[in-house]
Structure 1
Amino acid sequence: MNPAEWLARTARSSPQAPALFQGTRQVADYAGFARRAAGIAADLRARGIGRGDRVAICLPNCADYLPILYGILWAGASTVPVNHKLHAREVAWIVNAASCKLVFIHDSHGLQAACPLGAPPCIAPDSAAFAAMKASAPLPWPVAMDPDDPAWLFYTSGTTGRPKGAILSAGNLLAMSLSYLADVDAVAPEDAALYAAPMSHGAGLYNFIHVQRGARHVIPESGGFEPAEILTLARALRNISMFAAPTMVKRLIDAARATGATGDGIKTIVYGGGPMYVADIQTALEVFGPKFVQIYGQGESPMTISALSRADLANRTHPDWTRHLASVGRAHSVAELQVVSSDLTPLAAGEIGEIAVRGPQVMQGYLDNPEATAQALRDGWLMTGDLGYLDPEGYLHLQDRARDLVISGGSNIYPREVEEALLTHAGVSEVSVIGAPDPDWGEIVVAFVVPHGATPPEPQALDAACSGMIARFKKPKRYVFVTELPKNSYGKVLKTELRARLLAMSPQVAG
């Protein structure tokens, strides 16, 4: 089934239900939302774009984003959401690699200059051409899709080379969306999905189930993540649900504490995309109460590997509550989950290995990249590249990306456990741990620390914080104090950039 059918059905059953908002201002009801998408679809079909073709969206979060997305799907084509903050050369590479027939983008000049063979046609949402698209005689009903038909081409972040295009089919998107209801949260028509994180990534994927349920879709006036704006919108619109990276949650909680806000109007915050440290989620629960759900997923298994439920997060009386907080929950309903050795042998509870997942939500493969596909999909299992273990209750505990493992003196050191220990020190705001080459040990542990306030804590004090939680050999050998950690637009810390900084800088104070 074409995911756009959910929009068509909701518009037919609840045409006057409020749908699209820019801030607190309603932009369209569901009839208007579907009318715009169907007009865009008709225009695309008139251009010869349909089933099997790809259309890119390189836009910031805006009220036109979802009508464009659904217009592409309505026409039977596959959407290629691209991070609008990428350099024009990076956008050009994706657009060319995906053989896109059209690009929705505000400023096409940089893209055209970056495409040596010429960019595909470009349309800006504020152009007369786009207004004409929306006003086209609507395509009556979405073009039929089979479950294996490509619907969303998700390009990886490319931190270890050229990004790869994960092919997500119509069936993948539907499995992911229905799993949201089973494992993450209920959705009702009075709810509102708030898009503060980039819609080209996980936040945008959650639109589907909110469309199916006839809920509202809210784009902040800022178009992004501004904690004060989000707290104000929540109070005004009520029943807000949003996806946020852990760094975003931390900023939101800090802003709430500074103003005395309690998260009034926020229904659910789904967090994921990076580690949420135990101290941070405990603080978030104290400030906002039981409004959080954690998910673990990848672009190749979108938002759908495991989930830590609202009940698990809120159950302080459970004897293993803290241990549950440190996990990423249990397998989604649609996911089979294993931790395996290098030869794909399933490991026993407590043994660390690579996390593998399979199910109807897992990608079809990487576009035009059979070698990478064969490496990622083995015997039907997606090899995530993440290391972790399952406990006897089935909770999955992430250690780190395999490439982030530090091997010092022959011993494995997982950066996350060092980061968790350092964050118990009151003088540490943020921290990221990496390995640095060392002639004697192979690698040593280096911690990049963002201090609270202007005065960094003494390295000896940070050592003491570690001593109470982790083995001595895991303690950082060096501390590097910085004003902020480099992050991508999704809030993930860029450890590759930290490694590059370390190579370029002079020796820092040793711990």
Structure 2
Amino acid sequence: MEETRTVGSLFERACRLNGERAFLLEDGLRLTGREATRARASAAAALSAKAVGPGDTVAFVCGPSVAHTVSFFAAQHLGAVCCCLHVKESDQRMAGTLSAVGPRLIVCDADQAERLRALLAQTNIAAPVLVAGELLGSAVGSKQIQAASRRDADPAVILLSSGTTGAPKQVLHTQRTVLATAAMAAPVYGAEGPDDGVVIPMAPSFAAWLHTVLPFLAIGAKLYFEKAFDAARYADIMDREDLTVAAMVPTLWRAALPALSARTPRRLKVAMFSGEPGTPDLVAALKQLAPRLRSVYLSSEGGCACGIVADEDLLGRPGMAGAAGCAVEGGALRVVDAVSSDMTPLPPGTIGEVAIRGPSLSPGYVGQEDLTAEAFRAGWWRTGDLGFVDESGVLHLKGRLDNRINSGGIKIYAEEVEAALLSLAEVRAVAVVGMPDERWGERIEAHVVPADPATTAAQIADAVARAEVLPKAMRPKAIHILDALPTGPTGKLYRKALREPRAATPSGHSAARPEKKGAA
């Protein structure tokens, strides 16, 4: 197999493997290998004309699409560092994230361009804004731009991961760590070559986009980009395009199963889920759908070569549907004491903090040396997740150390939602917790002490929507009005008391105002 030296050369190799076959697909657009090569050259010329070069950061504000993917790898061809932002981010948070990232240039979808230019005009960020779809044919016939020379340790990608203070963590990945992720198509997805293919329904701002696109691109497989998830359409695409791997979080799987069961894709060979543990009913349903199963535990910091994987044999054993699995070959996991810096592995069956390592492990966070030193120790990354390893070496997850809420496979920090709510004049104090939810895994609930005691939960919800301080996925599904937040003996917030079940109206807002409590 030809050696791949840079992230940019992955794309070139995929184009050569496909030649006249269409492999970058979306509704209304199909690029063959030759067409994708020309499109990448055009986009690279356009970016180069704006002085993008090695080490420069290019920010992307795009949904999943062929144009974004080509532009992403055009930037990689030039040696730039790619960072994808959430398209549904509020204006306030978008401006703050752009200031933190400091891009040389921004590439966006057409419907984001006017908004971004207006935001930049209100800040001190001087960055051109280009539309991804216009880059593919913007410089046809231009001189070919030579690929930048990159070393293994050179930065390639920054993944944004929510931070407890509202500022995103910038997870750095190098040429070496991204290429290590790209090499994991078979161990993680069970995919082996150009005959395989997958739908990409996730936005590029999520690490799952990189963790899926890179391995499939590396083997020259088909990539079908879908901006809005629809179960019946998903089933149709899988069948029509002869795609072989279905990869989704359990929330989407539950939505898609009826359509996929009614029209099982004829070439489907692997059903994969990630983002949250499996359940017996989900595993049983997927076993009826595909001959092979995968449950995958991945992270922004770890990448695919640090992944934890369970296959159909493990998941099918009694009581193992929720097992996370074992480390992929070349990776490693251990469970360590959660309250100390000691990295000695705990005995089997002992619950502690999960730590992982492997070739795709991030070197740390950009500009956050203290946080890097705390989370990355002796070649390991402490995940913040709690779990135990059984006698067979299988990892079982038990929860989270911090206050992350796992809603539909998306990890949300409670403190981040709290900070946004506290910016509203209507809110005096607030605490946010995750509550069990059959559909989402966990739902976001906010316990609010209003500035005006007469304020209702519905009025708080309206204020959140009007202010647009949070994207919809991070807005509370229920709001409870309190006279005071519960505290423990030390005066600190006692979150456990907030997780006790309460009656709620159908709208999701609290049906009653609890009595004032000082401690629980």
The normalised TM-score by structure 1 is 0.76
Deviation at 1:484, TM superposition (A): 9.3
Q: 1:94 to 1:262 in 2, by over 3 A?
A: same
State the one-letter code of the partner of 2:127.
P
Q: Partners of 1:348 and 1:482 in 2: how far apart? A: 46
Q: 1:505 to 1:188 in 2, by over 3 A?
A: farther
Q: Partners of 1:301 and 1:484 in 2: how far apart? A: 38
Q: Does 1:371 align with 2:370?
A: yes
Q: Partners of 1:482 and 1:232 in 2: how far apart? A: 37
Q: Partners of 2:99 and 2:119 in 1: how far apart? A: 10
Give the corresponding residue for 2:124.
117
> 1:279-298, CA deviations, whole angstroms, 9 ceiling, x for partnerless residues?
33333334x14343111111
Q: CA RMSD in A?
A: 3.1
Deviation at 1:313, TM superposition (A): 5.0
Q: How do residues 339-354 of structure 1 correspond to structure 2 at under 5 angstroms?
A: 339-341=335-337, 342-344=340-342, 345-354=344-353
Q: Does 1:331 align with 2:327?
A: yes
Q: Secondary structure at the match of 2:190?
A: coil
Give the corresponding residue for 2:231.
227
Q: Partners of 1:54 and 1:74 in 2: how far apart? A: 13
Percent sequence identity over aligned pairs = 22
Give the corresponding residue for 2:209.
203
Give the corresponding residue for 2:387.
388
Give the corresponding residue for 1:139.
145
Q: 1:87 to 1:136 in 2, by over 3 A?
A: farther
Q: Partners of 1:178 and 1:19 in 2: how far apart? A: 19
> 1:167-202, CA deviations, whole angstroms, 9 ceiling, x for partnerless residues?
011111111121332343132212222111223321
Give the corresponding residue for 2:264.
262
State the one-letter code of the partner of 1:156.
S
**Aligned 8 A contact 1:184 1:307 in 2:** no
> 1:452-498, CA deviations, whole angstroms, 9 ceiling, x for partnerless residues?
xxxxxxxxxxxxxxxxxxxxxxxxx425557699xxxxxxxxxxxxx
- The partner residue of 2:94 within 70, 91, 95 is 91
> 1:197-253, CA deviations, whole angstroms, 9 ceiling, x for partnerless residues?
223321333222222222111123xx2211110101112111332431221111111
**Aligned 8 A contact 1:308 1:327 in 2:** no
Deviation at 1:9, TM superposition (A): 2.6
Q: Secondary structure at the match of 2:307?
A: strand
State the one-letter code of the partner of 1:270.
M
Q: Partners of 1:158 and 1:93 in 2: how far apart? A: 13
Give the corresponding residue for 2:355.
356
**Aligned 8 A contact 1:39 1:136 in 2:** yes
Q: Partners of 2:287 and 2:33 in 1: how far apart? A: 34
Q: How do residues 28-43 of structure 1 correspond to structure 2 at under 5 angstroms?
A: 28-43=31-46
Q: 1:481 to 1:296 in 2, by over 3 A?
A: farther
The normalised TM-score by structure 2 is 0.75
Q: Partners of 1:392 and 1:282 in 2: how far apart? A: 25
Give the corresponding residue for 1:70.
73
Q: How do residues 411-430 of structure 1 correspond to structure 2 at under 5 angstroms?
A: none
Q: 1:91 to 1:438 in 2, by over 3 A?
A: closer
Structure 1 runs not aligned, ≥5 long:
407-421, 448-476, 486-500
Structure 2 runs not aligned, ≥5 long:
406-435, 448-484, 516-520
Give the corresponding residue for 2:251.
247
Give the corresponding residue for 2:421.
none
> 1:11-53, CA deviations, whole angstroms, 9 ceiling, x for partnerless residues?
3354223221123x55211121122112222332333211111
**Aligned 8 A contact 2:310 2:323 in 1:** no
Q: Does 1:218 align with 2:216?
A: no
Q: 1:244 to 1:113 in 2, by over 3 A?
A: same
> 1:53-95, CA deviations, whole angstroms, 9 ceiling, x for partnerless residues?
1101111112212111110101111111112111233222222
Deviation at 1:112, TM superposition (A): 3.2
State the one-letter code of the partner of 1:37.
R
**Aligned 8 A contact 1:292 1:310 in 2:** yes
Give the corresponding residue for 1:284.
286
State the one-letter code of the partner of 2:270.
T
Q: How do residues 46-195 of structure 1 correspond to structure 2 at under 5 angstroms?
A: 46-105=49-108, 106=110, 107-115=112-120, 116-127=123-134, 131-133=137-139, 136-140=142-146, 142-158=147-163, 161-195=166-200
State the one-letter code of the partner of 1:312.
D
Q: Secondary structure at the match of 2:93?
A: helix
Q: Partners of 2:97 and 2:403 in 1: how far apart? A: 26
Q: Partners of 2:133 and 2:265 in 1: how far apart? A: 34
Q: 1:102 to 1:42 in 2, by over 3 A?
A: same
State the one-letter code of the partner of 1:7.
F
Q: Secondary structure at the match of 2:236?
A: helix
**Aligned 8 A contact 1:192 1:241 in 2:** yes
**Aligned 8 A contact 2:184 2:304 in 1:** no
**Aligned 8 A contact 2:353 2:384 in 1:** yes
Give the corresponding residue for 2:428.
none
Q: 1:204 to 1:35 in 2, by over 3 A?
A: same
